Structure 1
Amino acid sequence: MEITEINAYGVNVPLVPFEEGGLAPYVTNHNSLDDMDRILVEVKTDDGLSGWGEVRSFLTPEATISVIEDGVQPLVLGQSPFELEKLRRQVFIEYTNADMFFAPVEVACWDIVGKALDEPVYKLLGGWTTPTQTETKHRSNQGEYDDEKAVEIAYCLGILSPEKSRERAAEVLESGYSVLKTKAGRDWKTDVARIKAMHDEVDGELEFRLDPNQGWTTDQAIRVGSSLADAGIYLQYMEQPIRVNAHKSLASLKNQTGQPIGPNEDTYIPNNLRRLIDAGAIDVAVLDLTPAGGIAGLRQQAGIVEDAGLPMVHHCAFDLGVRTAAILHAVYGIPGFSMPPDSTYYAWEDDVIECEFTVDNGAIEVPEEPGLGIDIDRSRIEEYRIA
């Protein structure tokens, strides 16, 4: 079996407004979203099988599509989708990290391999029956899963007023979630007030993650973490509170605030995982398969984190059904993912897959069909396609 063609399609899909139960506008410390550009990638083979991957748009949809079709495609044509480790090691574009552009192609190859072998991707990964997967699912206040092949997700919320955040936190708890992640970083005092308001509203029954996307200075991060600890609020983790490559400062934050530190953007930089571990600057690894170069790269990172005895969680990037499926298979099939992955899947007005995922009691079932277990609705691609 050989790869014969790679096609990428840019789509723009709206988000459900906050007043209608969605997240738009989704405000972070650097932007505000009412819709999102996504790039869907189809890999075809000479056996008639095809697979799908998905990635966010980098710079522009046109630029991302060009790198994938004109840059990555010539490097993998004529080769087998089964040779994933070979492919990811030979995709090299001088002066840039090509992993993020190769990732959707790599995921599509997993999809193809699963279809060829008539097995779902999570079974190909081999880790779904390990003790860490079946015995330490993060479900502390929800009881057992009705379906054991389900992944709990963390609800994600943009920057809102303390009043609106309080209102949504109650709805999130009522819907069966046990973890809420919220953006931060525009005003650290308001960030503290929002967490306190949500914590009080749910009587401490939700756990919180706070993500300023590098938006605080070190002194601000210390004030946030310490203020919350003084109020008896202990986060699951503060995600990348300060800029990347400031590992000594990251290491000092936990000691000064008592809050766990979860680097994210720092883990996108090659070899930084080992540096963070060596510096004692990481309590939770917030990983992402796209900057890792795909599922195989994510598995390699997960091994490093697990060997260090640290918990890990998967990041989200406003993922449609294709990448959501890939994340579900990855966190279910790779040992060590003991915390719910972030997700905003419930926020889309529509999706490009035929059978959309449903969130039930804060969890999404892992597809059982071969490959990623999804079918693409091409008419929806055309409906939302970026001209």
Structure 2
Amino acid sequence: MAGDADRYMNKGFHILKIKVGIGDISDDVARIQAIRSRVGGNVKLRLDANQGWTPKEAVTAIRKMEDAGLGIELVEQPVHKDDIAGLKQVTDAVDTPIMADESVFTPRQAFHVLQTRSADLINIKLMKAGGIKQAETINAMAETCGVECMVGSMIETKLGITAAAHFAAGKRNVTRFDFDAPLMLKDDLIQGGITYSGSQITIPDEPGLGITGVSIQEEAKR
């Protein structure tokens, strides 16, 4: 995994998102230590446990990383999505910012997390929220409560990511984004939309989303 970090750094990325919560927490800590040693102190590390820890495991793992001075920017969804009490337990017990992802699909769920102060940050995904209107509501609620948001993505094409990028760019409360999904696809049939240059994204200024077409015919020839 440290080798993967090298490869992305060479492509110009200065923020790395690393999956944890699979297997023993000592293995997670060791992997993050190896990555931090490889990339140095100028690269931000974001961890995503994908609900993989219990509250006790999350607190133990994160505290070990804090004690080791690994400089973790945030930890995303450390516990099961329905365990809001456990999420709050982790948030209250560590210094590293905790982000709610799967715990917040709807404005109602966002209200519960915000009301109980169970997370420091919220990850909004247009596909998860059900569209821009719901995402707008969640972001407005979070901003009112002084909680910053990240806009992330599912595994989707540039069509959805372009809409998410427009949304993120227009919201002062959105302070982070995670739009790597199209980079994982073998082929993206969407023409137009956002463009990638290393770690930088350019949002089109054409009308609407700036999508110019879908290359279905070219794919059909293969």
- Under a length normalisation based on structure 1, what TM-score does the superposition of the two structures give? 0.54
Structure 1 residues 267 and 380, CA gap change in structure 2 (3 angstroms): farther
Residue of structure 2 in register with 1:264 after alignment:
101
Q: Take 2:179 and 2:98, find their aligned partners in 1: how far apart are those partners?
A: 16
Preserved CA contact (<8 Å) 2:106 2:134: no
Residue of structure 2 in register with 1:377 after alignment:
215
Residue of structure 2 in register with 1:168 after alignment:
4
Shift of 1:304: 0.7
Preserved CA contact (<8 Å) 2:44 2:73: yes
Q: Take 1:382 and 1:236, find their aligned partners in 2: how far apart are those partners?
A: 43
Structure 1 residues 318 and 256, CA gap change in structure 2 (3 angstroms): same
Structure 1 gaps of 5+ residues are 1-164
Secondary structure at 1:208 match in 2 = strand
Q: Which of 12, 16, 21 lines up with 1:185 in the alignment?
A: 21
- Partner deviation per Cα, 1:270-291 (whole Å, 9 max, x = no partner): 5111111121111111111123
Secondary structure at 2:78 match in 1 = coil
Q: Take 1:380 and 1:273, find their aligned partners in 2: how far apart are those partners?
A: 42
1:134-213 aligned at under 5 Å gives the runs 165-187=1-23, 188-213=25-50
Structure 1 residues 316 and 380, CA gap change in structure 2 (3 angstroms): farther
Structure 1 residues 325 and 230, CA gap change in structure 2 (3 angstroms): same
Shift of 1:231: 0.7
Structure 2 gaps of 5+ residues are none
Secondary structure at 1:359 match in 2 = strand
1:185-334 aligned at under 5 Å gives the runs 185-187=21-23, 188-334=25-171
Q: Which has the larger radius of gyration?
A: 1
* Identity, % of aligned positions: 26
Preserved CA contact (<8 Å) 1:253 1:259: no
- Comparing 201-210 and 268-277, the one that deviates more: 268-277
Preserved CA contact (<8 Å) 1:176 1:362: yes
- Partner deviation per Cα, 1:205-236 (whole Å, 9 max, x = no partner): 21111112111111111121011001112322
Q: Take 2:221 and 2:73, find their aligned partners in 1: how far apart are those partners?
A: 39
Structure 1 residues 284 and 342, CA gap change in structure 2 (3 angstroms): farther
Preserved CA contact (<8 Å) 1:355 1:374: yes
- Under a length normalisation based on structure 2, what TM-score does the superposition of the two structures give? 0.90
